[in-house]
Amino acid sequence: MTATRRVVLLVAALLLVAPPVMVPALAQVTFGHGELDIETASGRHHFDIELATKDEQQIQGLMFRRTLAPDAGMLFLYPSEREIQMWMKNTVIPLDMIFIRADGTVSHIAERAVPRSLEIIPSEGPVLAVLEVNGGTAARLGIKPGDRVLYPAFAKP
């Protein structure tokens, strides 16, 4: 057996073993739950959300999920406003990422992020939170920058 063939077989064996070792560790992460509304020109839209406020929750996010209800999402909430960078590694469903300032206004939307992509998705300015929802939700509901997210963590103007 050639050295190249041995390396290929070793890499293939590692790939077969790695996912079962990694997935149970991720499965232990639990998320808080809540609700929020987004006020748009077309009206108020309600979402049931999971909360990602701790590092391990934010690292896992929606990775490996196969489905997300149409009125569901995950809110990544940070301790203070900052530039945020997201990606879609190990995320298998397309998502819209709604970047939210501390006052609850939508600052930027990254629509239909590509599953499993390693492309960096920037907030394009300081934000306090990111709401991830099914890809296409922002367009379907008419969510745009300047719309208001109603949730207790956001300061009222």
Same-domain status, 36 and 21? no
Same-domain status, 22 and 44? no
Same-domain status, 19 and 48? no
* Position 88 in a domain: yes
Q: pLDDT tens digits for 41-60?
A: 999 999 999 999 999 999 99
Q: pLDDT tens digits for 110-126?
A: 999 999 999 999 999 99
Burial (CB count <10 Å: 0-12, 13-18, 19+), residue 78: middle
* Phi, psi of 153, deg, nearest 5: -70, -15
* Position 38 in a domain: yes
- Global pTM value: 0.82
Q: What is the DSSP letter of 153?
A: T
Q: pLDDT tens digits for 5-50?
A: 443 444 444 444 444 434 444 457 899 999 999 999 999 999 999 9
* Position 157 in a domain: no
Tokens of 46: 């309600």
Strands 106-113 and 32-40: unpaired
* Position 52 in a domain: yes
* Position 21 in a domain: yes
Same-domain status, 17 and 37? no
Residue 75, domain extent: 31-150
DSSP per residue, 8-43: HHHHHHHHHHHHHHHHHHHHT---EEEEEEEEETTE
Q: Which residue has the tokens 């990775």?
A: 63
Same-domain status, 22 and 64? no
Of the candidates 150, 141, 129, the residue with the CA atom closest to the CA atom of residue 52: 129
- Between CA 108 and CA 114, with CA 113 as vertex, the angle to 5 degrees is 165
Domain total in the chain: 2
Whole-number average pLDDT of the chain: 87
Give me the residues paired with residue 85 across strands.
122
Same-domain status, 111 and 136? yes
* Position 105 in a domain: yes
